[in-house]
Structure 1
Amino acid sequence: MHAALSVSESVLLMGADHPAHVPGEPKKQTVSISGDDETTLRAWWDGLSEGATVHQPLEKAVWGDSFGMLEDRYGTEWLVNIAGERPAE
């Protein structure tokens, strides 16, 4: 990721573009939002999903978080990760 912005104490937004030297579609942007504010992140996912192509539904992942990927109606790729329960240390 090439940029990071703390949206709140519990949500982080990061962004990256597709480097010209990497094979694939040029000028593609990816935005990642992650955190432990499940209510906010699920609401954002719901809004982003409208008219989108969902590549990975937002659901429990093998690493314990909820994760989803989609391309919104404007062509931007989004990764959403909601932190799962963490074991006490």
Structure 2
Amino acid sequence: MGSQLNPYIAFDGDARQALEFYHEILGGKLELGTFGDFGSPESPDASKIMHATLTTADGFTVMAWDVPERVPFNPGTNVALYLGGDDPTLRDYFEKLSAGGTVVMPLKKQIWGDEAGTLVDKFGITWMFNITQRQ
């Protein structure tokens, strides 16, 4: 299989809601496991997500967790998710992910010839898009 690089996003108690939102838009298979599921049923974090993976038919993989109470949480300013390619569906993803969030750079044709845009979704996660033009 080789090496793989996936984004892993830390949330402050709303990882389940965020991943279910992304799953609704991107489709695929969503796996959620709580701290309780992984052997800490008595923990104050038992119902929080310890590990979640969203794997889509398009080849996207997003991983996430809820930061436990003992770990400092810094909202997602240090994480950006990049979606790129020539699939026109990316425009639909951009529109849906921006619902309730902020479009930082509208999706439009750029000087290099591709469409690009950036948004921050309603969970504070930055998404960068680059849609290459099909030949």
TM-score, normalised relative to structure 1: 0.66
* Matches of 1:14 and 1:60, distance apart in 2: 26
Structure 1 pair 31/85, CA: closer, same or farther in 2 (3 Å)?
same
Is the 2:85–2:131 contact (alpha carbons within 8 Å) kept by the matching residues of 1? yes
* Matches of 1:80 and 1:43, distance apart in 2: 11
Report the count of equivalent residues: 72
The structure with more strand, counted as a fraction of residues? 1
Q: CA deviation at 1:6?
A: 8.1
Which residue number corresponds to residue 29 of structure 1?
Answer: 79
* Matches of 1:37 and 1:84, distance apart in 2: 9
1:82 aligns with 2:85: no
* Structure 1: unaligned runs, 5 residues or longer: 16-24
Q: CA deviation at 1:14?
A: 7.9
1:63 partner amino acid? W
If you compute each CA radius of gyration, which structure gives the higher value, 1 or 2? Answer: 2
Which runs of at least 4 in structure 1 moved beyond 2 Å after TM superposition? 2-8, 12-15, 25-28
Structure 1 pair 7/33, CA: closer, same or farther in 2 (3 Å)?
farther
Which residue number corresponds to residue 50 of structure 1?
Answer: 99
Structure 1 pair 13/59, CA: closer, same or farther in 2 (3 Å)?
farther
Q: SS in structure 1 opposite 2:94?
A: helix
* Structure 2: unaligned runs, 5 residues or longer: 8-54, 63-73
Aligned identity (percent) is: 35
